[in-house]
Chain A
């Protein structure tokens, strides 16, 4: 599975949109982009995933560039409870061997009042 690159930390003002970038320049055609977040000491929480089309759910929007080499997770109106570490991962669904799945250290997002 392809490796991802994320900035180690970001800040965002409460009520504003938080845009979290992820670079996955070696992504292959059948790999999906997944986003999770981890609020301090809790288990990671799934947010959203996509292949090439932009996706939106009740938590966030996912924008994937046309060449699929990068993506952006958008939290439209960040709240203090969105302060967390955000992970961008690429993988092949249903792949029998997940050994090479790399989570990385993610982006630590601080939402400030």
Chain B
């Protein structure tokens, strides 16, 4: 099993550009989430999904869209990148609501 795979690992965007952060898991996990991590702050939930076709907003959803067309994939779209979205983004998945999350290795995004 590869676990949770995030691509790309690094990305630099110009303000106003759009892009999609990819997240894929091969563990048949129902629950998937996107977090961002900024210096001096804890992980903050952006969006999450409890199964294919079901998504909901987390703590900081503005400026981001998600979809969950398959169990395996949970892409995060930045609609119009802003410098405030410079951060490290982590995707995570878990099989049930009780289990702990398996995290990907992160995408380091810089918006200039």
Task: Indicate whether A and B interact.
Answer: yes
Chain A residues in the interface with B (C-beta under 8 A): 32, 34, 36, 41-49, 87, 93-106
Known: A97-B56, A98-B33. A105 touches B42 (CB 8 A): yes
Interface residues of B in 32-48 (CB under 8 A from A): 33, 40-45, 48
A101 to chain B: which residues have CB within 8 Å? 45, 59
A103 touches B58 (CB 8 A): no
Main secondary structure of the interface of A (DSSP, over half): loop
Q: Count CB-based A-B contacts (< 8 Å).
A: 60
Chain B residues in the interface with A (C-beta under 8 A): 4, 33, 40-45, 48, 50, 56-59, 90, 92, 96-106
Known: A43-B90, A103-B42, A103-B43. A98 touches B100 (CB 8 A): no
B42 touches A104 (CB 8 A): yes
